[in-house]
Amino acid sequence: MNVYLNTYMKVFFLSFFLFGILFSSFAQHNHIHAKVIDEKNKLPIEGISVTLIPLNKTTVTDENGSFTFNETKEQITSIVFSGFGYEPLTITATDFKLGVTVSLKQKPLTTLEEVIVNSGASVKQQNQISKLDIKMRGVNNSQEVLRIVPGLFIGQHQGGGKAEQIFIRGFDCDHGTDISLNVDGMPINMVSHAHGQGYADAHFIIPETIENVDFKKGTYNAEKGNFNTAGYVDFKTANSIDRNMIKLEGGMFNTGRLVGIFNLLNDKQKAKQQSWYIASEYHYSDGYFDNSQHFNRFNLFTKYHGKVSESSFLQITASTLQSKWNASGQIPDRAVDQGLIGFYGALDPTEGGVTSRSNFNAQLRTTLKNHDFIKNQLYYTNYAFDLHTNFTFYLNDPINGDQIRQRENRNLLGYNGSYNHVSYVGKTKITTDAGINVRYDKTNNSELSNTINRFTIINPIKLGDISELNTAIYISETIKFNEKWNINAGVRFDQFYNEYNNKLATDPTLNGIGIYKAKANNVSPKFSVYYHINSKTQFYLASGRGFHSNDTRAVVVTNGKEILPPAYGVDFGTIFKPTKNLLIHLATWYIGLKQEFVYSGDGGIVEITGKTKRIGLDGSIRFEPIKSLYLDVDINYAHGRYSDEEKGQDYIPLAPIWSSTGGIMYKNKNGLNGGLRYRYLSDRPAIEDYSLTAKGYFVSDAVLNFTKPRYEIGLKTSNLFNVKWKETQFATETRLQNESQPITEICFTPGTKFSALLSMSYFFK
C-alpha cells in the first residue's frame, strides 16, 4: 500500500505541475481582470456577479474579490457588477482599467430580487439561499447556527451543554458522524471522541459573528474528506464589523445572556484594509427541567484580517470556550406514565458535564502575478471533555446503577494548503483547485468508566491514549465551456494512521496493555455537470464517493480492515427563479453507505449494522410578495432502508422521513421587524421492525424587534403554543430501580416549554 500511495502522490504532483505549465501558456496579458472590494471596510468581496455587455458573459469574484475574462476591452461596451447586499454598478469600457480595484456600496435593505441564478457560480449556487436567510432572518442563538442550513434538523438532549444531535437527508448523524462541520477552515468534528465518532460541538462559535454559511449536501466536494457523507457545512465568521455592540438578554428559567463585540482598530487603519475585533459571550440558564441545570457558558473570540503586503492577506483568529452544566438526561416513557417523575423530570439528577475548547487559526492568502492564489492555513485546538450520563439506569448494576463517565483531553494540530489557477483553452475557462490536508489528533486518557455520583469509579471500561493522523491530497477541475455548460471533476486521496495505547488490562476487546496500530486509505472521485438555461434556471447532476472513519479503538481491533466505509451519492436538481421575487431549489438524491456505524456509549464499542441505501427529495422556496415581507419553507423527504435485511426488518432506527422548516419575516423601514417560524419532524422508526415509534412534533417560535441605528429592543419566544414534545428519542433497554426485568421502550429528552426572552442591544462606533 505504501508503494501505491507513493506512486499516486507522484502522479498527482507531476500531473498538476504539467497542467499549470501547459495552461499558463494560454494566458493573455490583456484579458479583462480586476478586483472588487467593499467601499466601507475596503476588504475583498466574494461572490459578486460580473457581466460583460453586450456579450452577456458572466463570472463571479473569488475569495480574493478577483475575476478574470478571456475577452479584451475592445470587445465590450461596459461591465455590470451586482451582488446580494450591494448596490449594482456599471462601468463603461472607456472608464475601466485592467487590474483596477472596484468599490461597491452596501445596501441598507436587501431583497430577493438581488439573487441571481449565475452560470459563473454553478458549483456554489445553493449557498445563495443560506446567505439570503442570514441577511433576512439573522442568527439569534447557538442552535440557529446549524438550523440556517436548509433541511438540517437538530435535537438537544443535554440542555445546551452537549453537541446537538443532527438529522439530514435520512441520516441520524448522532452528533456529527455523517456530516462534516468546519468554521473558518478549521474542523469542528472530533475523531475518536469519548462520546462518539465525529462529535461536533459548535457552541464555541458566537452566533453574532457569523457572516456566511457554505454548505453542500452529498459527497461531491473534493476538498472535503472525513464525515462528508450526508454533506458538509462551513461557517464563516465576519472579517470585519461595521459597529460595536453590547447586547443583554434575559428571560424565563433564570436565563441570561450578555454579548459584546468591539472594533480594535480605528478608521485610518481600516482604510488600509486592516480589521481586528473582539467578541465575548456569557450565557446562564437553569433550564425548563425540574432539575435545575445551572448551565453556564463563556466564549471569547477575536479575529484579525488584513493586507500584509501588496499580494497577501493574513487572517488570524483565536477563541476559547468554557462550559459546565447539570443535566436531566433521557427518561423512559413508563417512568412518566407511572408517575415516578414528571414529563420534565430526571431519574439520575447527578448527570452533567464540563467542556472547554481553545483554538488558534492562521491563514495566509497570497495572489501571484498571473492571478493564481495560494492559501496556507495552520490551526491548533486544545480540548477537554468530561460527561456523566445514565442511559440504562439499573440494567447492568442493580445496586449502584449504570452511570458512566466519558472523559478526554485532546490536542489537535492541522494544516491546509491549496493552489487555485485559472486558465483558458480557446474560449473554455478552466479553474484548478489542488490542495493538501494534514490533521493530527493526540488524545490523552480517553476514559469510559462506570461511576457513582460522577467521580467515584466502580468499573473502568476503557482507558488509553489515542493518536490519529489523517493526510490527504486532492485536485478539482471546473471547466466552463460556455454560458450554458459547466463540469466539475475531482479526486481525493486520504491516508489514516491510527494508534491506541491501551492502559486497561481488563479491556475485553484487546490482548492486554500495550500499543496497537492500524492504517487505511481511501480514494474519493467526484463528478458534476451544470446546465445553465438562462438567468432564471439551472439544472445540475452531481455524483461522488465520500466516507466516514471509525473510532481508533475499533480500528486497531480489526487492524484497519473495512474501517473507511464508502458512501456513494447522486443528486439531480434545479435552481430556478421564475419571477424576481421567487426562488426555488428542488433536488432528488440517492446515498448508498457500505456500513453504518452505531456507537454504544455505555459499552465503549462501535456496532457495524450493515449496508444502507437512502433516496429522497429536497425542496426549498424563498418568496418575497412585497419588499418588507419574506417567506421561506424547506420540505425534505427521505426513504431509508438496510440493504441486506428482510422487508419489515430493514428500517433504519431514528432516520428522519418527513421534515420541514419555514417561516415568515417582516421588516419595516421604520425599524419594526419580526417573524414566526415552525419546525416539523414526522414520526419515524425507533427500531428496525418499526415496533417502536419516535413521535414527531410541530413547534413554533416567534421574534419581534424594534431596530434603530443606535439600539434594538427585541422579544423572542420559543415553543409559542406551549406544546409538549419529545426533542430526542431512542429505543433503549432499561431497568428502573426495583424492577425485576428490563424493558425496551422509548427513552426521551423533552423539548422546551414556552419561554420568552427580552433583549436590548446598543450599537456605537
CATH value at residue 42: 2.60.40.1120
pLDDT digits (tens, 9 = 90+) for 568-599: 999 999 999 999 999 999 999 999 998 887 76
Domain boundary among 80, 97, 121: 121
Rounded Cα gap, residues 42 and 51, in angstroms: 22
Same domain, 242 and 362: yes
Same domain, 98 and 207: no
Helix then strand then coil, in percent of the chain rounded to 5, is: 10, 55, 35
Same domain, 154 and 262: yes
pLDDT of residue 22 exceeding 70: no
Q: What is the mean pLDDT of the segment spanning 2-20?
A: 45
CA torsion, points 9, 222, 361, 188, in degrees to nearest 10?
-120
pLDDT recorded at residue 27: 43
Same domain, 36 and 145: no
Strand partners, 642: 612
The number of residues making up the chain comes to: 765
Say which range, 169-178, 538-547, 557-566, has the weakest mean pLDDT: 557-566
pLDDT band per the 50, 70, 90 thresholds, residue 500 = very high
Say which range, 155-159, 242-246, 490-494, has the weakest mean pLDDT: 155-159
pLDDT of residue 24 exceeding 70: no
Q: What is the mean pLDDT of the segment spanning 307-325?
A: 96
pLDDT of residue 601 exceeding 70: no
Rounded Cα gap, residues 209 and 704, in angstroms: 21
CA torsion, points 350, 300, 717, 292, in degrees to nearest 10?
20
pLDDT recorded at residue 364: 98
Strand partners, 747: 332, 730
pLDDT band per the 50, 70, 90 thresholds, residue 124 = low
CA torsion, points 537, 543, 544, 547, in degrees to nearest 10?
90
Domain boundary among 121, 148, 183: 121
Domain boundary among 85, 102, 121: 121
pLDDT digits (tens, 9 = 90+) for 147-186: 889 999 999 877 678 999 999 999 999 899 999 999 999 9
Same domain, 116 and 132: no
Same domain, 54 and 137: no
Which residues neighbour 269 within 8 Å (Cβ) at sequence distance 6 or greater? none
pLDDT band per the 50, 70, 90 thresholds, residue 1 = very low
CATH value at residue 332: 2.40.170.20
pLDDT recorded at residue 621: 96
E runs forming strands in 141-197:
153-155, 165-168, 171-172, 179-183, 186-187, 189-190
String of DSSP letters for 706-748: EE-SSEEEEEEEESTT----EEEEEEEEEB-TT-SS-EEEEEE
C-alpha cell at 124: 456554489
pLDDT of residue 113 exceeding 90: no
Q: With pLDDT > 70 as the criterion, what percentage of the chain qualifies? A: 93
pLDDT recorded at residue 182: 97
Q: Give Cα 161 distance to the centre of its chain.
A: 18
Q: Could you give the 3-state DSSP secondary structure of residue 124?
A: helix
Same domain, 639 and 569: yes
Rounded Cα gap, residues 229 and 442, in angstroms: 24
Q: What is the mean pLDDT of the segment spanning 215-223?
A: 95
Same domain, 76 and 170: no
Same domain, 592 and 731: yes
Residue 102's domain comprises: 2-121
pLDDT of residue 114 exceeding 90: no
350: closest CA among 441, 280, 452?
452
Rounded Cα gap, residues 520 and 561, in angstroms: 7
Q: What is the mean pLDDT of the segment spanning 274-296?
A: 96
pLDDT of residue 13 exceeding 90: no
Rounded Cα gap, residues 449 and 459, in angstroms: 6
Rounded Cα gap, residues 89 and 733, in angstroms: 64
Same domain, 113 and 148: no
Rounded Cα gap, residues 704 and 714, in angstroms: 6
Say which range, 155-169, 463-477, 624-638, has the weakest mean pLDDT: 155-169
Rounded Cα gap, residues 455 and 451, in angstroms: 6
Same domain, 113 and 135: no
Rounded Cα gap, residues 413 and 586, in angstroms: 39
Q: What is the mean pLDDT of the segment spanning 657-666?
A: 96
String of DSSP letters for 40-74: TT--B-SS-EEEEETTTEEEE--TTSEEE-SS-GG
| Single pTM value for the model | 0.94
pLDDT recorded at residue 267: 84
pLDDT of residue 209 exceeding 60: yes
pLDDT digits (tens, 9 = 90+) for 387-426: 999 999 999 999 999 999 999 999 999 999 999 999 999 8
pLDDT recorded at residue 11: 45
CA angle 730, 173, 552 (to 5 degrees): 105
617: closest CA among 593, 639, 584?
639
Strand partners, 487: 479, 529
Same domain, 319 and 425: yes
pLDDT recorded at residue 193: 95
Q: What is the DSSP-derived secondary structure letter of residue 28?
A: -
Could you give the number of structural domains in the chain? 2
